[in-house]
Amino acid sequence: MSAVADRYRRHADAFERMVVAVRPEQWSNQSPCAAWDARGVVEHVVVMHGVMLRPVDRAPSPAPSVQDDPVRAFTVARADVEAVLDDPELAGLECDTPNGRMTVARQIVEVVSHDFVFHVWDLARATGQDDTMDPEDVERLWAITTAIPAALMDKYRTPGAFGPGVEVYGPEVPVAAEAPLQDRLLGVIGRDPAWLDRR
């Protein structure tokens, strides 16, 4: 479990640094995801952290709203998830998920830890920060994503397939085969790596 917790913390640290660096006037900036502005990216991440607590029958700790204090809203949400990962009994519990039965720790990795990599990019693009992903993360997520069976990938791309308002991936964005792996990964999950140039 320690490796899972360490990876989660590394990703959460990167996202937190990004959130802290957002200037007040930038929170309404559009993100690469049409449904979210910069604040909406943080709101999504906080909400999904709350979802990760349901299998262990925990409620999110009291915290300011993302509207009032995005930084504090996120730091409280991550502390809740870290507490679960740091408890071997809770982290090792099995739960039912849209992708089958798995441990709580594995669900946290597959849902919020992996997603941090993409949402750091979303927030960076929305607020003019460095959007370079960790190359090891890119390689790992490329291997995972390109191994998803076509039928399941179609489900991931179908809005609402995993619940009202839930969209895992958007339609694939064509990216040149010779493009950097980060750009190709973004294209596979439905992000346009040239989004800034096309706004």
> Percentage helix, strand, coil, to 5, in the chain?
60, 5, 35
Q: What digits encode the pLDDT tens for the residues 63-82?
A: 999 999 999 999 999 999 99
The 3-state DSSP class for residue 195 equals helix
pLDDT at 3: 87
Query: What DSSP element (H or E) covers 11?
Result: helix 2-21
pLDDT at 43: 97
Mean pLDDT of 116-129: 96
pLDDT of 34 > 70? The answer is: yes
pLDDT of 198 > 70? The answer is: no
Q: What digits encode the pLDDT tens for the residues 83-115?
A: 999 999 999 999 998 778 999 999 999 999 999
Confidence of residue 20 (pLDDT cuts 50, 70, 90): very high
Instruction: Using CB atoms within 10 Å of the CB of residue 18, give its burial: 0 to 12 exposed, 13 to 18 middle, 19+ buried.
Output: buried
pLDDT at 167: 76
